[in-house]
A and B are shown apart, each in its own frame.
Chain A
Amino acid sequence: MIKIQNLYKVFKTESGHFKALEDVSLHVEAEDIYGIIGMSGAGKSTLVRCINLLEEPTYGEIVIEGQCIFRKMRKKAEEAEDPQENVRLTGSDLLALRREIGMIFQTPNLLMQRNVERNIAFPLEVAGVPKEKIQTRVAELMDLVSISEKAHNYPSQLSGGQRQRVSIARALANTPKILLCDEPTSALDSLTTNQILDLLWDINQKLRVTIIMITHEIEIVKKICNKVAVIDQTRIVEQGEIGQVLLNPGKEITRQLLRGTRGNYA
């Protein structure tokens, strides 16, 4: 589904070069709920934003469903054993890619001047879906996230959990096969967090959507992920099936993240 090979991301800042990702490789299979966990500043947001090219990687390769969306090798072509062309999606190809990948954020990022219905309609308008179709699709989506009774309310009238449900419906509007989640529950209380996680789980099961879940909380990974990658200071230090990683944490950082949820005594 998603294959990331030797990905590097270096930000050029005024004070020099800042490495956000180094040599990251990741293989997400269809219908996975793949957790990416790490401390803040570890580079996990940057990684997920490379997948829909909101952030352009510096080097590496990303293949989504067999289509290479980015490739730039560190070695010059003449030095490589198996030289391949550089790939960088632009223009309408890039927009088409992004329309096929849903994304939700820590803050729901709803349009405050649009009501619930019209917020969910936004990506459909962007994709040029005809009006009649937008209406039926929006009704379906509101039903899916149980927000139908708020159709004509504005974001200022919704709770944090309701807002995030609207943003999930919106992210699913163009029936993406992949849903990128950048800490979607970090701003919510624990009860609402559970409701949102249940909803994401349902979506994964019912709609067969592959989910990539960025988080700094191991509880979230335990609850819904089937695979996990632990990212520590720009590098993935451990990855695999959830049981395997959590039962036999090979790295200190993983143990630290596990301890964090049970107090500091474990």
Chain B
Amino acid sequence: MPESLSFLQAIADLLSEFKDLLVLGTWQTLYVTFLATSIAYVLGTPLGILVVVTAPGSIAPNRPVHEVLGGIINIGRSIPFIILLVALIPFTRLVVGTSIGPNATIVPLTIAATPFVARMIEQSLIEVENGLIEMAQSMGATSRQIIFKVLLPESLPSIIRGISITIISLVGYYAMAGAVGGGGLGDLAIRYGYYRYKSDVMFVTIVLLVIIVEVIQLLGNGAAKRMDKRNIR
């Protein structure tokens, strides 16, 4: 039997043997990262908006609020995820009832992602040209109207790109949570690939993670490009 065929045969055997585990791991990875991203956006978007509008020279300048929020976000972003994961165990137990498994991992993931999301939103909103804000002010728009009718809609394509970046970062974070029994593809890679020296399982999980990341990136870029009216000629 030629060598390449035997390699394919080995992969096929592996896939049939670990099929259920791989499907479950992929499903858990998607479920956890999407849910954590969604909750993080619910919490992080208002935070990001507040940071932008309270900046000096913006529509509702407020230095103390701006500085304090910026500080909190930076602290949140400085804590290594693996530390956060362990440190939050009591809190996670309180919320979910357990500290292991996919559902439990959503808690630290969301908390790690929220300051990240706030910065992503901030980055998107500050790209909106000052002239547009001034125009809206000259027409008597309230700060609220400027946020919802100018800042958010004008930066939507950029926000969408930020969402795909966030999901991809969380796929990576969640794989780390596999080390402490968080489930998902990372858990599989650690338990089978690392502890049991099954490097073929490790290889397949990595390929799956690469595919997930590629697809999310493609979908995000595609959606952002299609909805951006600046691209219409």
Contacts and interface: CB of A to CB of B under 8 A. Distances in A.
Interface of A: 52, 54, 94-99, 101, 103, 105, 107, 109, 111-115, 122-123, 125-127, 154-157, 170, 174, 180
B132 A96 contact: no
A155 B134 CA distance: 18
Contacts of B229: 112-115, 154-156
Q: Is the interface of B mostly helix, strand, loop or mixed?
A: helix
A156 to B, nearest CB: 5
Interface in B183-214: none
Contact of A52 (B132, B138, B142): B138
Count chain A CB atoms within 10 A of each CB in B134, B228, B229 and give the residue with the most. Answer: B229
A127 B132 CA distance: 17
Contacts of A154: 229-230, 232
Contact of B131 (A95, A105, A180): A105
A54 B231 CA distance: 32
Contacts of A107: 131
B72 interface: no
Interface string B129-152: 101101111111110010001100
B156 A95 contact: no
A114 to B, nearest CB: 7
B138 A126 contact: no
Which 3 residue pairs spanning A and B have beta carbons closest together? Answer: A98-B140, A99-B140, A109-B135
B138 A96 contact: no
Query: Which of A97, A126, A154, A170 counts the most B-chain CB atoms under 10 A from its CB?
Result: A126
A157 B233 CA distance: 5
Contacts of B157: 113
A113 B149 CA distance: 10
B90 interface: no
Contact of B134 (A54, A94, A95, A96): A54
B138 A103 contact: yes
B159 to A, nearest CB: 12
Nearest to A153: B232
B153 interface: yes
Nearest to A95: B140
A122 B154 CA distance: 13
A260 to B, nearest CB: 27
Nearest to B137: A54
B140 A111 contact: no
A103 B150 CA distance: 17
Contacts of A111: 132, 150, 153-154
26 contacts: A54-B138, A94-B140, A95-B142, A98-B137, A98-B138, A98-B139, A99-B140, A101-B138, A105-B134, A105-B135, A109-B132, A109-B134, A109-B135, A111-B154, A112-B229, A122-B136, A123-B139, A123-B140, A125-B145, A125-B149, A126-B136, A126-B140, A126-B141, A126-B145, A155-B229, A180-B138
A170 B149 CA distance: 15
Given A96-B140, A156-B231, 20 more contacts: A54-B138, A95-B140, A98-B139, A99-B139, A103-B138, A109-B131, A109-B132, A109-B135, A111-B150, A112-B230, A113-B153, A113-B156, A113-B229, A113-B230, A114-B229, A123-B139, A126-B136, A126-B145, A127-B140, A155-B229
Contacts of A52: 138
B102 to A, nearest CB: 37
A263 B229 CA distance: 43
Contacts of B149: 122, 125-126
